[in-house]
DNA sequence: AATGGGACCTGCGCGC
DNA sequence: TGCGCGCAGGTCCCAT
């Protein structure tokens, strides 16, 4: 489900909603989503602790807890955090809080991963992450693309290369930079690399400002939809006219992911 | 080394 | 109304 802007939205809302509150009860409705430690330990070690801070690293949410541990949540495709909880049939873990309300963790497809760990920085996923676009200089970005023969779009989705961008925003950034998703990364001119880098950051920033894109399952912490989907210029617009040149938007599959682009103005 | 396909799962929308 | 199919925002693993 969510990419960097969606996870950032949830992070900011969690800070307002649950910071300083105690987790009084953990109800595990489907233990499949708990990757470590065991479901029993997970419950035992979380009950009674206070939420001290909320962090985000790429698409990973991290709760810093008063017992020195960290709860790391990756929402993957369909994970949701909802507060106050509503007891959806897709709720997999329900955290009862000291304010009498629940924080629900929902996940239709059961891809999401919850981990209670001593040190989030040691997580394999974290160790493999490339830099977020906001932590990169344009020069470094250009240098990173220089030796890459891979198609640019799959490269933008490679979290070990650059982290935080997912399928929607990769499509959007390439459209805005007028670059074909199939171009080998090292074939981009300096100007194109600069433009792509700028558009990628701007797309992510705009998406954060609108509290994310509600496509399929993503919602804000309150359960409300995010507002950015109506500003998408190319994602999910197959068969519709390009907003720049009116040519029909095409959909292809690149490394297994739906890829939308304008065959005329993205070159 | 890099790429591609399948796996992990469930639910939804579509065409028939 | 019901069924089967294709599709889904992410990541990991394995084969080539």
pLDDT in tens, A81-139: 999 999 988 899 999 999 999 999 999 889 999 999 999 999 999 999 999 999 999 99
Q: Which two tokens stand for residue A137?
A: 């200089």
Vertex A197 angle, CA A191 and A173, to 5°? 105
CA of A108 to C1' of C3 (A): 22
A256 has pLDDT over 90: no
Q: What's the pLDDT score for residue A126?
A: 93
Look at residues A127, A160, A184 and tell me which one is the last residue of a structural domain. Answer: A127
What is the mean predicted confidence (pLDDT) over A147-161? 91
A118 in the same domain as A143: no
What is the mean predicted confidence (pLDDT) over A170-183? 94
Mark whether A194 is an active-site residue.
Answer: no
A149 in the same domain as A184: yes
Q: What is the pLDDT of residues A203-242, one digit of tens each?
A: 999 999 999 988 878 899 999 888 998 899 999 898 889 9
Mean pLDDT of chain A: 93
Q: What's the pLDDT score for residue A215?
A: 84
Q: Does the residue A267 lie in any domain?
A: no
- A102: Cβ contacts below 8 Å, ≥ 6 apart: A83, A84, A85, A87, A94, A95, A96
A166 in the same domain as A117: no
> Looking at residue A143, which CATH number applies to its domain?
1.10.8.50
A226 in the same domain as A176: yes
Vertex A217 angle, CA A59 and A246, to 5°? 90
Show the domain range for A73. 4-127
Q: Does the residue A266 lie in any domain?
A: no
Number of compact structural domains in chain A: 2
Dihedral (Cα; A48, A51, A57, A60), 10-degree rounding:
50
Out of A101, A142, A251, A257, pick the active-site residue: A257
A161 has pLDDT over 90: yes
A110 in the same domain as A95: yes
A144 in the same domain as A74: no
**Percent of chain A surpassing pLDDT 70:** 100
A111 touches strand B (CB under 7 A): yes
Q: Give the residue carrying structure tokens 């009084």.
A: A24
* Chain A 63-102 residues in 7 Å CB range of strand B: 89-90
Q: Of all nucleotides in the shown strands, which has a C1' nearest the CA of A214?
A: C9
Q: What's the pLDDT score for residue A199?
A: 96
A257 in the same domain as A156: yes
Q: Does the residue A24 lie in any domain?
A: yes
A183 in the same domain as A164: yes
Local confidence band at A1 (pLDDT 50, 70, 90 cut-offs) = low
Look at residues A112, A127, A142 and tell me which one is the last residue of a structural domain. Answer: A127
A9 has pLDDT over 90: yes
> Looking at residue A49, which CATH number applies to its domain?
3.20.190.10
Look at residues A86, A104, A127 and tell me which one is the last residue of a structural domain. Answer: A127
Mark whether A37 is an active-site residue.
Answer: no
CA of A235 to C1' of B6 (A): 25
């Amino acid at each position: 489900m969510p990419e960097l802007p969606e996870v950032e939205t949830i992070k900011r809302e969690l800070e307002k909603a649950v910071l300083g509150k105690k987790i009084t009860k953990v109800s595990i409705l489907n233990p499949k989503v708990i990757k470590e430690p065991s479901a029993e330990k997970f419950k035992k070690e979380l009950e009674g602790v206070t939420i001290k801070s909320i962090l985000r690293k790429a698409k990973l949410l991290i709760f810093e807890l008063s017992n020195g541990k960290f709860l790391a949540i990756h929402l993957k495709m369909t994970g949701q955090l909802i507060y106050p909880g509503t007891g959806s049939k897709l709720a997999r873990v329900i955290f009862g809080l000291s304010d009498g309300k629940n924080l629900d963790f929902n996940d239709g497809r059961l891809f999401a991963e919850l981990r209670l760990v001593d040190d989030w920085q040691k997580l394999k996923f974290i160790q493999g992450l490339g830099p977020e676009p906001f932590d990169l200089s344009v020069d470094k970005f250009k240098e990173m693309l220089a030796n890459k023969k891979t198609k640019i779009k799959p490269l933008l989705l490679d979290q070990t290369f650059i982290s935080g961008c997912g399928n929607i925003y990769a499509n959007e950034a390439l459209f805005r930079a007028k670059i074909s998703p199939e171009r080998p990364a090292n074939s981009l001119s300096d100007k194109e690399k600069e433009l792509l880098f700028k558009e990628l950051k701007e797309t992510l920033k705009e998406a954060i400002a609108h509290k994310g894109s509600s496509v399929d399952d993503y919602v804000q912490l309150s359960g409300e939809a995010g507002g950015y989907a109506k500003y998408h210029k190319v994602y999910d617009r197959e068969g519709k006219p390009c907003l720049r040149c009116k040519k029909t938007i095409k959909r292809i599959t690149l490394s297994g992911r739906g890829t939308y682009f304008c065959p005329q103005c993205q070159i």
